[in-house]
Amino acid sequence: MIENQMFEESQNQPQEQMQAQAQADQPKRKKGFKKPLIIILALALIIAGLVCVYKYKYGGGAWGSGYYAIFLDNNQVYFGNMSGRNSPYVVLEDVYYLRVTTALQTNDQGEQVQVPDINLVKLGTELHKPEDMMKIQKDHILFIEKLKGDSDIISAINSYKQKLKDDAAAATEGK
């Protein structure tokens, strides 16, 4: 009986060794597929963040196109199309500003009162004829507002531009 047990044990040893060898030969299953997935997701987030930063800095980003009002520390307000986010200056093109004059008028009681007269002025129409572009140092800007399409300022700008077109058309017809 002892010989039978020894024989069976000797028979089992090669089978166990063969099973161990067969398991070693089989490709091991990857247990850690989470790590590459995390790396891929992290890279995707980094790329998305870089795209957002690029669009914000170099594209329209938060500013976008359209007219803006720029309020300065000297109580001036300029209106125009804005660019130059990454420089020490904001660049305004198609620039307009308000000119306020006061006129004396007589009211119903016969008293003289000062009445403000507010005009929208196109940069470049002044005596010294500057170019229609301004660089404004950012340190002097108090705040910036984007103008809505139905703003009175935009209506006045559109009226001014239409008048220029009409005057140019009348001038070419008259020749």
> Quick one: 118 and 131 in the same domain?
yes
> Quick one: 158 and 74 in the same domain?
yes
pLDDT of residue 147: 93
* 93: Cα within 13 Å, side-chain hemisphere: 4
pTM for this one?
Answer: 0.59
pLDDT of residue 55: 63
> Quick one: 46 and 118 in the same domain?
no
3-state helix, strand, coil in the chain (%, to 5): 45, 30, 25
Residue ranges making up the domain that contains 77:
67-165
pLDDT of residue 61: 46
Residues of the chain with pLDDT under 70: 1-33, 53-63, 174-175
Structural domain count, the chain: 2
* 24-48 tens-digit pLDDT: 555 555 556 688 888 888 888 888 8
| Strands 112-122 vs 67-72: parallel, antiparallel or unpaired | unpaired
Range 58-89 burial, b when 16+ CB lie within 10 A, else e: eeeeebeeebbbbeeeeeeebbbebeebeeee
pLDDT of residue 96: 96
> Quick one: 75 and 125 in the same domain?
yes
Strand, helix or coil for residue 11: helix
- Domain of residue 103, CATH code: 2.30.30.100
